[in-house]
Amino acid sequence: MKWIFLFFLATSLMTSCYSQNNQNKNANMNNEKKTTPVYSKTDTTKVVLKDEEWKKMLDPEVYHIARQKGTERPFSSPFESFKEIGTYYCAVCGNALFKSDTKFDSGCGWPSFYEPISKGSIIYLPDNTLGMKRTEVECGRCKAHLGHVFDDGPPPTGLRYCINGVVLDFEKAKEAEKKYGTKQ
């Protein structure tokens, strides 16, 4: 009984913390994210920094997920149900990761995609933590932890890249802006 109480207490504390964070995340979807000195949407050179350097330059939540392989709470990312047309980038380094037309609603609680933007944009690593056999995905440029890939996705690939929204940045497609007459 004591454990059940502690579980519910911890869950309610996490929920209140994440709801406050979600208010801040909504602003981040408009390209207002704090970027790092290595952030570039055009530079493709590999980024190798010491952990202390990452810790100094990254937001604590981004650092926890990108460098310590953390996971955000399911359904807490505004990107999970985001429908805009454009490109998703690594929030740490600016590496192009996914096009919005490969995003789908998997119901898993995290933004899901069926295909990366290119073969080199993602690194695949075995992950056997917590007694599970999974494949971790990292950014191909800075090796930030993004999430995991599973083989239960839709055609044409059959893959589901389950990605933490905290480590994503988004840029609206320029053609979509022209078509609908809106500006970022």
Top-confidence residue, 24 or 39: 39
Average pLDDT over residues 137-159: 97
Average pLDDT over residues 140-155: 97
Please, which pLDDT band fits residue 175 given cuts at 50, 70 and 90? low
**pLDDT tens-digit map of 35-56:** 789 999 999 999 999 999 999 9
Q: Is 162 a catalytic residue?
A: yes
Please give the Cα distance from 64 to 48 (Å, whole number): 17
Q: Which of 93, 139, 142, 162 is catalytic?
A: 162
Please give the Cα distance from 29 to 70 (Å, whole number): 21
pLDDT score, position 54: 96
The Cβ of residue 93 has, within 10 Å, a number of other Cβ atoms equal to 26
CA distances from 147 to 96, 110, 112, 136, 179 (A): 15, 9, 10, 6, 33
Domains of the chain: residue spans and CATH = 2-180 (2.170.150.20)
pLDDT score, position 20: 36
Average pLDDT over residues 128-149: 95
**pLDDT tens-digit map of 50-102:** 999 999 999 999 999 999 999 999 999 999 999 999 999 999 999 999 999 99
- pTM, two decimals, is 0.79
Please give the Cα distance from 106 to 151 (Å, whole number): 12
